[in-house]
Amino acid sequence: MASDNTEIKYFCDILHDRADKAVEKYGCGTAVYDYHEILDDPELDAVSVCTHNDFHSIISIDFMRHGKDVLCEKPAARILSEALEMEKISYETGRSLSIGVCNRYANSVNRIKKMIADGMLGEIYHVYASFRAYRSIPGLGGDFTTKAVSGGETLIDWGVHYLDLIMYCLNDPKVLSCDGEAFCKLGKDMKNYITTSILSLSSFLRSKMTLSLIFLSGTAMQRQNKRPKS
Ligand SMILES: NC(=O)c1ccc[n+]([C@@H]2O[C@H](COP(=O)([O-])OP(=O)(O)OC[C@H]3O[C@@H](n4cnc5c(N)ncnc54)[C@H](O)[C@@H]3O)[C@@H](O)[C@H]2O)c1
């Protein structure tokens, strides 16, 4: 947390304990429990918004309107209109708004981007990304699996990273049309599972190019009850 250029002034969380623990852990800053209290602090230049998705746009917009630059966690927001509003306020206020698509900074990603730009992979006409998680799946009823809070399923949680990387590596191709489908077929027997399963498929077209994304979150290893002894 130490930096010559930056000083952390506050850790804010509505769960008091979490804010307090962050101050203790990092040995800096003050704990606050309501972000409205610090909106007008003239010493505050920038904020990192890392709440659940439903508060991304609200908090980011409030801070930009109070003259602060914002780094907001991915996904930018739950729905397009929220994200567009964030973008609009960023232009209106002149504050910088950055979304935490951190994988863009990976050397491997930038190597691929350069290979594509240098023509080493030829003409790109199809991209397929597939992701499967069988562990570390957010628990049922939590913020990541409650649609009103998260705005979606696997595609909005993990998917935004892959979608962003593809668009980034391909230099933001113009999207002409887009379609997709999200399924929730696995782990329907909620009684015995602590997580849900989602398969999302999204594809879209840019002239002759098709992108396909498939995400599958499995639950096979997430049973609450212990495996019977054989
Ligand atoms: N960039 C990445 O690779 C990456 C990785 C992990 C998580 N994330 C994103 O970060 C966000 C948080 O994820 P997490 O796993 O840390 O969740 P988390 O539940 O551990 O932390 C979120 C915290 O926000 C607090 N909070 C909620 N509303 C608040 C409010 N109005 N004011 C202040 N605090 C509030 C909650 O009390 C909670 O402590 C999500 O949007 C997630 O998608 C991004």
pLDDT at 183: 63
How far apart are the C-alpha atoms of 151 and 140, rounded to whole Å? 15
75: nearest Cα among 96, 55, 94, 93: 55
In which order are the strands placed within the sheet that holds 199-206? Answer: 126-133, 209-217, 199-206, 177-183
pLDDT at 192: 47
How far apart are the C-alpha atoms of 87 and 194, rounded to whole Å? 36
Ligand 1 lined by 53 (C-beta under 6 Å): yes
- Which atom of ligand 1 is nearest to 143's Cα? 19
Residue 126 Cα, ligand 1 centroid: separation in angstroms?
A: 34
Q: Provide the residue type at 215 as one letter.
A: F
pLDDT tens, residue by residue, 66-107: 999 999 999 999 999 999 999 999 999 999 999 999 999 999
Ligand 1 lined by 13 (C-beta under 6 Å): yes
pLDDT at 222: 47
Residue 191 Cα, ligand 1 centroid: separation in angstroms?
A: 27
pLDDT at 201: 45
| Domain ranges across the chain | 10-102, 112-217
Residue of the CA atom closest to atom 21 of ligand 1? 51
How far apart are the C-alpha atoms of 181 and 155, rounded to whole Å? 10
CATH class of the 10-102 domain in this structure: alpha beta
pLDDT at 205: 52
Ligand 1 lined by 152 (C-beta under 6 Å): no
pLDDT at 160: 87
Cis peptide bond upstream of 173, omega within 30? no
Residue of the CA atom closest to atom 28 of ligand 1? 51
Ligand 1 lined by 100 (C-beta under 6 Å): yes
Instruction: Tell me the CATH number for domain 112-217.
Output: 3.30.360.10
pLDDT at 198: 46
pLDDT at 163: 86
Block means of pLDDT (10 residues each) for the chain, 230 residues, are 86 98 97 98 98 97 98 96 98 98 96 97 84 65 77 80 90 76 58 44 57 60 50
**pTM confidence score:** 0.86
Residue 124 Cα, ligand 1 centroid: separation in angstroms?
A: 36
Ligand 1 lined by 111 (C-beta under 6 Å): no
